[in-house]
Amino acid sequence: MPRIQELQSDLDALKDQGLYRFRRRLDTPQGPVVRIQGRELLNFCSNDYLGLANDPRMIKSLQQGAERYGVGSGASQLVCGHSSAHAVLEEELAACTGRDRALVFASGYLANLSLITALCPGRAGLVVQDRLCHASLIDGALLARARFQRYRHRDAAALDIILERAQTDKKLVLTDSVFSMDGDIAPLQQIAEICTKRQATLAVDDAHGFGVLGDSGAGTLEQLGLRQSQVPALMATFGKALGGYGAFIAGPGALIEMLVQRARPYIYTTALPPALAVVATTGLRIVREESWRRDRLQQLVQRFRHGAQQLGLSLLPSDTPIQPLVIGAAPRALEASERLLEQGILVTAIRPPTVPENTSRLRITLSAAHQEQHIDRLLEALALAER
């Protein structure tokens, strides 16, 4: 173990490089306006895309869930932690996504670790991912100890070459649907066709698309018309558009049952508290019933992009609520974030290793809870910060 002095030296180096991370303490619920250290700030860095994290119905369902089930699940799901609240949620998730079954996890990170380690364990397997996949997918591949390759971002042709050359029948392809730091969408229809042709299993992380995209809010796969036979494994979370906490994987019955039997992060983790499963069920129903939230969110995205274009801001190409403004060097991104903070705008600077070197950025995220004047105020602040 490194000595304390060495740890402090490493921390000082992070500060010098503009890579030191710190937490801001909110004194309010999530929302378009938050309070930090007595200051009210417009919040443009939350993943609460549909404005449900502080919805009264969500709060009431948490209270009712706690009254019925208590505050803890008590054990893993295979011991005595699986409740009727989990079962109801899994049934509704399967119906919503058009999959045979769904399985609830305590977090999206655990879900992805479970998926990869259960389906592609050991050196006999090959895991192939987009280069900009979420850290949990990378860590899952490393934990599985499978052979691991990555292809150029959104480059389906490069994926095809890797799969064509693969020397194994056990091939697992993983990609985000909506990439969390760029906001763009993977070419999933092409990827699905390639996986079918090369007899590879395709798994999609739809954490940032579920609830936001699709006619009913079932996510990117619904929007693109991709069925279970084309995308056997779908993962998404409850902590973003659904406003709660937790995650799920949906797919064929045999795949889900294999996760129950072999996924160590699922087997050996205390189950998601049942009250939070009740909250997720409430959020899922709201998402499906209130399509106006998605419509409003898209209107705000277009308002922001139009305003940014008029200001000459070079946003990355994205029609999702993730609207990154690439700055470059980490210290410059931190400085830009601080200039916005001085104007009452909260936008976090995203730096390596979360994004590649020299692509540090302001990751601006929009919510259906924002008002038009909030968007206009953000644009004004960005115009001043760019001077």
Let me know if residue 1 belongs to a domain.
no
Last residue of a domain, one of 289, 307, 328: 289
Q: Among 265, 289, 313, give the residue marking a domain's end.
A: 289
Quick one: 280 and 296 in the same domain? no
Three-state secondary structure call for residue 127 = strand
The catalytic residue among 240, 318, 367, 374 is 240
CATH of the domain at 68: 3.40.640.10
Q: Is 208 annotated in the active site?
A: yes
Residue 364 has a pLDDT of 98
| 332 and 202 in a common domain | no
Boundary (domain end) residue, out of 236, 269, 289: 289
* Residue 6, in any domain of the structure: no
Note every long-range contact of 21-29, with CB atoms under 8 Å and residues 24 or more positions apart, other chains counting: 24/346, 29/53, 29/54
* Same domain assignment for residues 306 and 238: no
- Whether residue 142 is contained in a domain is answered as yes
Token readout for 268 is 């050996």
323 and 359 belong to one structural domain: yes
**Are 170 and 312 part of one and the same domain?**
no
14 within some domain: no
Same domain for 269 and 342, yes or no, is: no
- CB atoms under 10 Å from CB of 343, counted, come to 15
Q: What is the pLDDT of residue 55?
A: 98
Distance CA 200, CA 264 (A): 23
- C-alpha to C-alpha distance for 52 and 40, rounded to whole angstroms: 20
**Looking at the DSSP assignment, which residues form a beta bridge with residue 219?**
none
208 in a structural domain = yes
Query: Is there a single domain that holds both residue 88 and residue 196?
Result: yes
The set of residues, in sequence order, having a beta carbon less than 8 Å from that of 249 and lying 6+ positions away, is 102, 103, 105, 111, 114, 115, 233, 234, 235, 256, 259
Phi-psi region of 369 (alpha: psi -120 to 50; beta: other; left: phi over 0): alpha
Res 14: pLDDT: 92
Residue 26 lies in a domain: yes
Which residue range is the domain that position 198 belongs to?
56-289
Do 124 and 206 fall into the same domain? yes
Q: Confirm whether 192 is domain-assigned.
A: yes
| Residue 300 and residue 283 share a domain | no
Residues 62 and 38 in one domain: no
Active-site entry in 180, 318, 337, 360 = 180
The total number of structural domains that make up the chain: 2
- Residue 387: its pLDDT value, please? 63
| Catalytic (active site) residue 86 | no
**Cβ-contact 95, 284 below 8 angstroms:** no
Instruction: Tell me, yes or no, whether 263 and 317 share the same domain.
Output: no
Same domain assignment for residues 281 and 313 = no
Give pLDDT, residue 1.
60
The closest of 316, 321, 337, 382 to 21, measured between CA atoms, is 337
CATH number assigned to the domain comprising residue 296: 3.90.1150.10
2 inside domain: no
pLDDT at 385: 79
Active site residue 197: no
Identity of the amino acid at 109: Y
Which one of the listed residues 82, 170, 171, 208 is annotated catalytic? 208
Cα-based distances in Å from 81 to 93, 111, 259: 19, 17, 16
Question: What string of pLDDT tens digits covers the 387 residues of the chain?
Answer: 668 888 999 999 999 999 999 899 999 999 999 999 999 999 999 999 999 999 999 999 999 999 999 999 999 999 999 999 999 999 999 999 999 999 999 999 999 999 999 998 888 889 999 999 999 999 999 998 989 999 999 999 999 999 999 989 899 999 999 999 999 999 999 999 999 999 999 999 999 999 999 999 999 999 999 999 999 999 999 999 999 999 999 999 999 999 999 999 999 999 999 999 999 999 999 999 999 999 999 999 999 999 999 999 989 999 999 999 999 999 999 999 999 999 999 999 999 999 999 999 999 999 999 999 999 999 999 998 776
